[in-house]
Amino acid sequence: MSRDRGPRTPRSRRRIDRRARIAATVTAVSLTAGGCVVVHGEREVVPATTRAEATEALKEFTAAYNAADKAFDPALDADHVTGALAAIDGARLTAGRAGHPQGNPDHSPLVLSDTGFTIPKKAGWPRWFVADARANKGGDSRWLFVFTRDGLDRTWEAAYLTLVAPGAVPEFATDADGWAEPVPADATDLAVRPRDLSRDYAGYLQDGGKTFAAGPHTTGWRDQRAKDTSRPGLATQYIDEPLTGGDHAPLGLRTKDGGALVFFATRHFEKQTAATGTAVPDPSDEVLALTKGEIKQSLTMEFVSNEVVRTPKRGTGDQRVTLLGRIQGLTGAQGG
């Protein structure tokens, strides 16, 4: 797998505790041989950014993320996160600060290495790119970030973060200059359109089906839920919802085999109701920090999840969508 998926020159190239933690009409710059030329970004098909700018964006994000984690202060990286990652990260930091107002006693800086960038060439806003790196956390998993911005005067923000197994990231389709091809949300040449993935995944978790291939985040998660649904003295209900608006919109890249790698988000609710004469299991401090109301007989937890999948080209081989990675975080809770 190529480590630098930016332009080539002619010569080269994250029970309750566990789940609660799980972690335009402006102008665009188009590179030319002689330097930078300003063109109309709403019309011209141009690279989303340069490799140098993508590198700086990841560097700035990492510095802000580490500062926020050390202080347990979501304000310190608020300008560098958006969408699903902002919801997950912000809630984690808020819960941490409630228990440790002086900062994170277990802080260990995130260090990224072996980084590559996949930069699509597209018209209009938002513009976005993918960063793929190793980290000093998460074992051997690759960390996949998606950075977006809505204009040249805006800061690059990380909207998605998923961890995938080594070697699971596919090869992307690129043009002669090394720029990747974005996949439209309504692309009909795929087994599932990117815009339908969030809805279909939420539906699959509720009812099952054949849309998604077997795995820990599909059949495995449904099996675990089935075991947890009814335990002595405790009933658990699950609600799953698509999350697609604004900065939660799906983003996809064309792969060499004609399919696509797509990032999307979902929202999940888990309601635990204790039988008369019993009580809900004691929540963790992190859960309590995000809980509104008094926990009497029930506790409803809200989670946001972001996923990355491979969806095959329509009509070719196995048409099931493969879920490569998912990170989920508790974002709120309600006692009842």
Q: Taking the complete model, does pTM exceed 0.75, yes or no?
A: yes
Comparing 261 with 27, which gets the higher pLDDT? 261
Please choose, from the candidates 205, 186, 203, the residue with its C-alpha nearest in 3D space to the C-alpha of residue 195.
186
Q: Is 288 helix (H, G, I), strand (E, B) or coil?
A: helix
- Tell me the C-alpha distance between 275 and 286, whole Å: 24
pLDDT confidence bin for 230, thresholds 50/70/90? confident
3-state SS of 317-335? CCCCEEEEEEEEEEEEEEE
Q: What is the pLDDT of residues 68-89, one digit of tens each?
A: 999 999 999 999 999 999 999 9
Q: Give the least confident one: 27-41, 247-261, 263-277, 290-304.
A: 27-41
Average pLDDT over residues 107-129: 97
The amino acid at 276? T
Amino acid at 259: G
Nearest to 180 by CA among 188, 190, 189, 170: 170
- Rounded to the nearest 10°, the torsion over CA 1, 164, 196, 78 is -110
pLDDT for 158-174, tens place per residue?
Answer: 999 999 999 999 999 99
- The partner residues of 187 in beta bridges, in order of sequence, read none
Helix (H) / strand (E) containing 238: strand 234-243
Span 280-286, mean pLDDT?
A: 93
Nearest partner of 181 among 119, 249, 116, judged by Cα: 119
Mean pLDDT, residues 87-108? 97
What pLDDT, in 10s, does the model give residues 294-330? Answer: 999 999 999 999 999 999 999 988 999 999 999 999 9
Cβ within 8 Å of residue 234, ≥6 positions away? 272, 273, 274, 275, 278, 280, 281
